[in-house]
Amino acid sequence: MRVQENVSLRPYNTFGIDAKARYFTSFHSQEELLTVLASQEWKHARKMILGGGSNILFTQDFDGLVMKNGIKGISVLREDDEFVYVQAGAGENWHEFVMYCIGQELAGLENLSLIPGNVGASPMQNIGAYGVEIRDTFFELEAFHLHDHALVKFDNAACAFGYRESVFKRQYKDQFVILNVTYRLLKQPRFNTSYGAIEQELQRMGVTVPSIRAISDAVINIRSSKLPNPAEIGNAGSFFKNPEVTREKYEALKAAFPEIVAYPLPEDHFKLAAGWLIEQCGWKGYRDGDAGIHARQALVLVNYGQAKGAELVELAWKVVDSVKEKFGVVLEREVNIV
Ligand code: FAD
Ligand code: EPU
């Protein structure tokens, strides 16, 4: 395994930030990972695991070892009457994995088509889109402890999934390397078209009988129409989470802003569309130098070329302040800042 020095991370993060890694390597198996972790040379180095770099904002150079997870392989572990258990290496591209499942006529991930990044990061924030989250089909994962080198299995409950949350973002932050993830996919699809735009898109496509593939295509069309393609404009998807508020807070906001976009949650809570809040503060399409807010989706911060991570963070703080001032709601970041 080759360890390179002073490597630009620009090709490795979808924001296209030109930060440098003091050292950079990639590993393709648990054995290769252990070789690095156990070696005297790297034992005490600060380490960071990188997937597809689509949920990271580098604000400075990384003075340590960046380790890109390149573990590949997709295999069917077993099946029963209802389910097929499919395991994928952490370094598999997420969308290609979803396409593999659809090709095998296995259902459950079609609403999550076209999310950038790799399989290994999918449980980190319980990725979700269009009414589905991975916790709905996640079975288990294997992870390697960075310090005591134990191989640990986490089932669905052990991951403590929440909205854009898991144990890996909380108490086990920066402690484990996810090696592979197993999904429990359905032989008989249960379509989830609860997200209004999917039904509309299926109609527009002329689809009368939905299929796994048609739903995937509809999601791909919707996503392509509003989310910027990182190959063209640097971004990491939603920069903030959609905030959750109590009924009392929601009703006060609704009285003051009748157009507010919100969705009911269990336990008398409401989720507010952060994109709407940010747009109302006048940020949509804003640009200062190369840092900006996407013109079609105010929840997405963008790098038009040479923006620095620190400039994007500064812009993010301005957005947070203005939303707090106008609505009394504090936006929480979704993107990982390094
Ligand atoms: P990275 O950005 O490489 O890493 C993210 C975090 O996970 C980092 O802290 C990293 O250290 C850690 N990590 C990565 N791999 C491992 C591993 N194997 N073991 C341990 N830690 C690891 N997200 C959604 O949920 N829904 C969406 O609809 C969505 N849409 C997006 C659209 C666009 C255009 C973009 C750019 C991003 C979008 N995202 C979305 C965010 C992003 O795609 C997901 O968070 C994705 O899972 C990140 O995967 P990654 O491999 O790129 O992770
Ligand atoms: N809206 C606006 N202005 C905007 C953007 C949105 O008014 O500029 C309002 C619209 O009313 C719209 C509503 O907000 O109907 C919701 O917008 P959208 O459907 O685009 O979804 P979102 O809530 O902004 C969330 C996820 C996305 C995911 C989509 C689809 C979060 C933080 N974001 O965005 O995930 O793809 O739903 O399910 O939950 C990501 O996590 O990176 C991500 C892109």
Q: What is the pLDDT of residues 95-110, one digit of tens each?
A: 999 999 999 999 999 9
Asked if pLDDT for residue 1 goes beyond 80, the answer is no
The pTM of the full predicted model, rounded to 2 decimals, is: 0.97
Q: Is the dihedral of CA 112, 116, 122, 124 positive or negative?
A: negative
pLDDT digits (tens, 9 = 90+) for 142-191: 999 999 999 999 999 999 999 999 999 999 999 999 999 999 999 999 99
Phi, psi values for residue 87, rounded to 5°: -105, 135
> CATH classification of 234-337, choosing from 3.30.70.360, 3.90.78.10, 3.40.50.80, 3.40.50.300?
3.90.78.10
* 4-69: CATH class: alpha beta
pLDDT of residue 40: 87
CA-CA distances (angstroms) from residue 148 to 31, 159, 225? 15, 19, 46
Q: Which amino acid is at 148?
A: D
Average model confidence (pLDDT) for the chain?
96
CA 289 remoteness from chain centre: 26
pLDDT of residue 217: 98
Q: Is the CB of 130 under 6 A from ligand 2?
A: yes
* 63 C-alpha to ligand 2 centroid (Å): 34
The best mutation among 66, 124, 238, 301 to test binding of ligand 1, ranked by most ligand atoms within 8 Å of the C-beta, falls on 124
Given pLDDT bands bounded at 50, 70 and 90, which one contains residue 194? confident
Asked if pLDDT for residue 309 goes beyond 90, the answer is yes
Count helices and strands in the chain by DSSP H and E runs: 9, 20
Given pLDDT bands bounded at 50, 70 and 90, which one contains residue 93? very high
Q: 283: closest CA among 306, 317, 236, 330? A: 317
- Residue carrying the six token digits 């709905």: 136
Q: 107: closest CA among 219, 223, 194, 213? A: 213
Give domain 74-186's CATH architecture: 2-Layer Sandwich (3.30)
Domain boundaries, the chain: 4-69, 74-186, 234-337
Q: 107: closest CA among 181, 182, 184, 186? A: 186
Asked if pLDDT for residue 46 goes beyond 90, the answer is yes
* 118 C-alpha to ligand 2 centroid (Å): 21
Whose atoms come closest to the Cα of 293: which ligand?
Answer: 2
* 293 C-alpha to ligand 2 centroid (Å): 14
Asked if pLDDT for residue 248 goes beyond 90, the answer is yes
Cα atoms in the Cβ-side hemisphere of radius 13 Å centred on 50: 27
pLDDT of residue 43: 84
Whose atoms come closest to the Cα of 195: which ligand?
Answer: 2
